[in-house]
Structure 1
Amino acid sequence: MTDFRYRRLKYVAVVVTDVERTENFLLDIVGLAEGPESGKIDTRFLRCSDDHHDVILIKGREPGLARISFEMESVKDFDATKAHLTKKGLNPVDVDADELAFLGIDRAFRIIEPNSKLTFEFMHGMVAAETPFVPTVADISMLGHIVLMAKDVDAVTEFLINTLNFKLSDEGAGGGLLRPFPTTNHHSLGLVRSNENRIGHIAFMVHSYDVIGKAVPRFKKHDVPIVFGPGHHPASNSNFLYFLDPDGITWEYTFGMEQFPEHDPRDPRYLELGNGDSWGNEMDPRMGKVGRVVTPDELVS
């Protein structure tokens, strides 16, 4: 039985081929803010909240996804999670003191999800940024979710539900949408069946549909490829716009999302969603094609 509780998806660590180029893209065109100086030429911290960071950019030979981090609700939940995963034989690895200081985090450990080989981090306590987040070109509210393309969707889904205490919100033939208990957003992690473990997309929640509408001419002005939308997801009841960064990684603005109560939520639905847009847009074939899962060994090689 899993009885630990999450607070939210905390941050994502993304591998890019040119950290300065992607940093400028996320700052000037997407609307993130600078995080603290990393002191490393190959690493950048960016944020869309008052936290130390929400996104980490790491230089690599090819674009990819290094890890996703989830914040636990309390120290008790952090300890319970680690004990549970140790008992399951997943060999949690503590993040050492130097890296914790670098990340501005009090406590953290990591495991490798056995099916996708993606690194999951579980943490508690992150220092606040020196200044509040102030929206610029886009009124971003938070890092919303990540979708993972996975070769064995069924095994990853089973692991998330039965080992990591995620709840299934909705599913279809191509995958599922899940939330870490007891977070309320329809999903923090989505899974899509694929022939490779890689990033599907990374999403920022925004404060209004105007943010999406205003992004379209801005992206066109800066030759940013829009690969899907604006559109509407019937599963989560959210509006969306998907676009590519300079490496071809897919990012999303999303507005509005079904909220789940902790107690007596509705049952998961099986939905025939087509391409996931009730407005009838066609998906650009470049969407979700770049950014394979990168293992810790590759990051230090």
Structure 2
Amino acid sequence: MTVRSVRHVALRMPNPDASGSFLGDAFGLVPTDAGLRGTADARPLVRLSEGPALGIDHISLGAASRRAVDDVAARVQRLGLRLVEEPGVDDEGAYRTRLRDGSGLLLEVAHADKARPDPVPHVPFLDRPMLISHVVLNTPDLEATAELYCELFDFTVSDRYGDYMVFLRCNRYHHSVALGQAEHTSLNHIAFEVGSIDGVMRDSARLQGLGSDPVWGPGRHGPGDNVFSYFGDPNGVVVEYTSALEVFDEADPREAKVWPMDDPEQDNVWGTGDPSDEGIALMTGAPDPYLQP
């Protein structure tokens, strides 16, 4: 596959210090000079900067090789999309290219030396997030966006949730990017792998003890089979603790299926309820202000 992981998500917002404090002190990411990292490696998973409103500065995808970066750049030009940066080495030594997708979202594809690490349980009570499990984006054109990402990055459709969501994988895990039907393009949420179901529950309980209630969960999704607990940060970013995402047999993957939306337990098989009204509003968000043609 051309792309094999989500490297980081860069966000702009009115008060990045507040989000940085929440994600580091409460949520459990590790602050660095370049952003906030997980425990799997030293690269930042989240980068925050100041802006007039909450939105996505860019999303960085990890490529399998330098040649894969070049291939993406060629596909961008062939499809008539905007190539923002020709392939080259950035200030941090990564070989990357940048492009605008069909909605104007800035995407970066950079050669990553390591594939997505496999999650492993932490020592009890040290359940810091390891890595980005997946990113979910809202889009007004679900099928066209899914088709474009498959063509640009070699994503594969793992499952669909009715005509509302498409789950895309780029490694053996069920999804690294998911797309949800909406009236506009925006960030829905960022999910962080914590290594075990117990870790999801411990982190959720710890955050509640600090005064932050989940906007959804704990629960377990049907598509992906992962355990989840969602929280909102001070700028309205929705972040998820997750673990136990379905793993595909890469030599013989199962066929994608459509999960029915008329059964409410498909979205949360534990039956612990739907997202709160606050959670729905935060995950829907406002139209992203940083999109460009």
TM-score by length of 1: 0.84
Structure 1 pair 160–96 and aligned structure 2 pair: CA distance change class (3 A):
closer
User: 1:217: Cα distance to partner?
Assistant: 3.0
Which residue of 1 is the match for residue 290 of structure 2? Answer: 295
Matched, 1:47 2:37: yes
Gaps of 5+ in 2: 115-121
Which residue of 2 is the match for residue 232 of structure 1? Answer: 220
Match of 1:184 among 158, 172, 191: 172
Structure-2 separation of matches of 1:95 and 1:18:
32
Higher mean C-alpha deviation, range 227-236 or range 86-95: 86-95
Higher mean C-alpha deviation, range 207-216 or range 247-256: 207-216
Which residue of 2 is the match for residue 67 of structure 1? Answer: 58
Match of 1:197 among 185, 198, 217: 185
Which residue of 1 is the match for residue 118 of structure 2? Answer: none
Letter in 1 for 2:205: P
Which residue of 2 is the match for residue 213 of structure 1? Answer: 201
Letter in 1 for 2:44: H
Gaps of 5+ in 1: 39-44, 128-133
Q: Provide the identity percentage.
A: 27
Map Cα deviations across residues 4-50 of structure 1 (whole Å, 9 max, x no partner).
52231111111222111111111111111122x25xxxxxx111132
Which residue of 1 is the match for residue 79 of structure 2? Answer: 88
Map Cα deviations across residues 155-188 of structure 1 (whole Å, 9 max, x no partner).
11121123332100000221211112xx111001
Contact 1:31/1:137 (<8 A) preserved: no
Structure-1 separation of matches of 2:249 and 2:93:
29
Structure-1 separation of matches of 2:157 and 2:79:
21
Map Cα deviations across residues 234-283 of structure 1 (whole Å, 9 max, x no partner).
11111000110011221100110111233331111011143710112121
Matched, 1:147 2:136: yes
Structure 1 pair 91–117 and aligned structure 2 pair: CA distance change class (3 A):
closer
Contact 2:64/2:112 (<8 A) preserved: no
Secondary structure of the residue that 1:210 maps to in structure 2?
Answer: helix
Which residue of 2 is the match for residue 119 of structure 1? Answer: 106
Match of 1:30 among 27, 38, 53: 27
Contact 2:135/2:191 (<8 A) preserved: yes
Which residue of 2 is the match for residue 11 of structure 1? Answer: 8
Structure-2 separation of matches of 1:239 and 1:196:
27
Contact 2:3/2:155 (<8 A) preserved: no
Contact 1:93/1:111 (<8 A) preserved: yes
Map Cα deviations across residues 203-237 of structure 1 (whole Å, 9 max, x no partner).
00111122222223322233223111100111111
Higher mean C-alpha deviation, range 168-177 or range 269-278: 269-278
Match of 2:163 among 173, 176, 189: 173
Letter in 1 for 2:253: P
User: 1:292: Cα distance to partner?
Assistant: 4.0
Structure-2 separation of matches of 1:289 and 1:89:
29
Structure 1 pair 72–156 and aligned structure 2 pair: CA distance change class (3 A):
same
Structure 1 pair 225–207 and aligned structure 2 pair: CA distance change class (3 A):
same
Name the Cα RMSD after superposition. 2.5
Contact 1:117/1:293 (<8 A) preserved: no
Structure-1 separation of matches of 2:48 and 2:113:
18
User: 1:74: Cα distance to partner?
Assistant: 1.0
Higher mean C-alpha deviation, range 53-62 or range 218-227: 218-227
Structure-2 separation of matches of 1:159 and 1:242:
28
Contact 2:55/2:290 (<8 A) preserved: no
Report the number of matched residues: 276
Structure-1 separation of matches of 2:287 and 2:90:
25
Which residue of 2 is the match for residue 246 of structure 1? Answer: 234
Secondary structure of the residue that 1:122 maps to in structure 2?
Answer: strand
Letter in 2 for 1:69: S
Contact 2:76/2:82 (<8 A) preserved: yes
